[in-house]
Amino acid sequence: MRTGMNTNIKLLAAAGVALAMIGCASTPVLNPQLESARAMLRTTEADPNVAKYAALDMESARKELAIAEAASLRNDQPTVTQEAYLASQTARLAQYRASAKADDARVAAGQSEREQIELAATNRQIQKANSEADQAAAKSAALKAELEALKAQRAQQ
Amino acid sequence: MQTPGQNLCRHTVAVAALLICWTAHADDRTATADAKIAVAQASLQRAEQSGAPLLAPVDLATARDKLARAQKAKSNDDLRSATSLAEQADIDAQVAEANAQSQHAHTAAAEFDASMQALRAEAMRTAPSTP
């Protein structure tokens, strides 16, 4: 009887281990680098500048994350960590490049406004100079007329 | 019926083939590690010339450190570590460069904004009053 019970216990133990192994195989081990990479990519993709100016970098980051996810399913932790790190860094790269391009674009767009303002200021200066020249000419003509009048008066005496 | 001599010959050929395959693969892995180290070195050089030493010192230091470790691993024939460290050094250097460049662009844009504000203010001041 005892040998029968021992066999049953061994069978139960074996079944338990098998179930645990099946359970372990279906849930990937939590990898902090992978969690961090997923969050980083979510944040980066929400940045409108990134979609506009750094689409290729984001594509690379997504590919690297996909490789990490696939490695996670195989429980290949070294590859998960490596590819997740690369994905995070590529996403950061995308953010920096997009930010620089957005700033450059804003400056380029502002150039035309600057040119208009400077052109208007130059025009005003020209107008002012012309008006001053006209005034000076008018004054000169008035003085000349006064001088002629005085000469004529002198001649009559 | 094969003679023992023929069997030995066949086995030797098989082992030789495996050895050739393995050494070729090992050569490939060495070439890959070398290539990745070279790429990382180029990225690091660009980063150092981009203003990263001043503007992105942490990213740059990380890249330098990983490249040094990659080269050390390669000299110890640890090709797997050499390759993965070189990959990391490369992306770290690119991030350092992009970090520095984004700061340059930000500074230039801020200066432009300030000069535009001054320009607009001056324009309003000297504009003729509407009759």
B3-16, pLDDT tens digit by residue?
887 888 888 888 88
Mean per-residue pLDDT, A62-70:
98
The rounded percent of chain A whose pLDDT value lies above 90 is 68
- The span from the CA of A64 to the CA of A37, in Å, is 10
Count CB neighbours of A37 within 10 A. Answer: 27
Average pLDDT of every residue of chain B: 91
The DSSP secondary structure of A73-97, one letter per residue, reads: HTT-HHHHHHHHHHHHHHHHHHHHH
Residue B23 has pLDDT above 90, yes or no: no
- The span from the CA of A59 to the CA of A112, in Å, is 34
Contact A100 B120 (CB under 8 A): no
- State residue B126's pLDDT score: 78
- State residue A20's pLDDT score: 62
Q: Is B108 on the interface with A (CB under 8 A)?
A: yes
B window 47-76, beta carbon within 8 A of A: none
Mean per-residue pLDDT, A118-132:
90
Contact B119 A89 (CB under 8 A): no
What ipTM, to 2 d.p.? Answer: 0.81
Query: Is the overall model pTM greater than 0.90, yes or no?
Result: no
- State residue A25's pLDDT score: 55
From chain A, the residues in CB contact with B127 under 8 A are 120, 124
Q: Is B81 on the interface with A (CB under 8 A)?
A: no
From chain B, the residues in CB contact with A99 under 8 A are 102, 105-106
- The span from the CA of A90 to the CA of A57, in Å, is 6
Count CB neighbours of B90 within 10 A. Answer: 25
Taking any CB pair shorter than 8 Å as contact, residues of chain A touching chain B are 78, 82, 85-86, 89-90, 92-93, 96-97, 99-101, 103-104, 106-107, 110, 113-114, 117-118, 120-121, 124
**Which residue does chain A place closest to B88, by CA atoms?**
A86
pLDDT in tens, B54-88: 999 999 999 999 999 999 999 999 999 999 999 99
Q: Which of B91, B104, B116 comes nearest A89 by C-beta?
A: B91
- State residue B130's pLDDT score: 55
Comparing C-alpha atoms, which of B53, B49, B83, B48 is closest to residue B69? B83
**Which residue does chain B place closest to A79, by CA atoms?**
B84
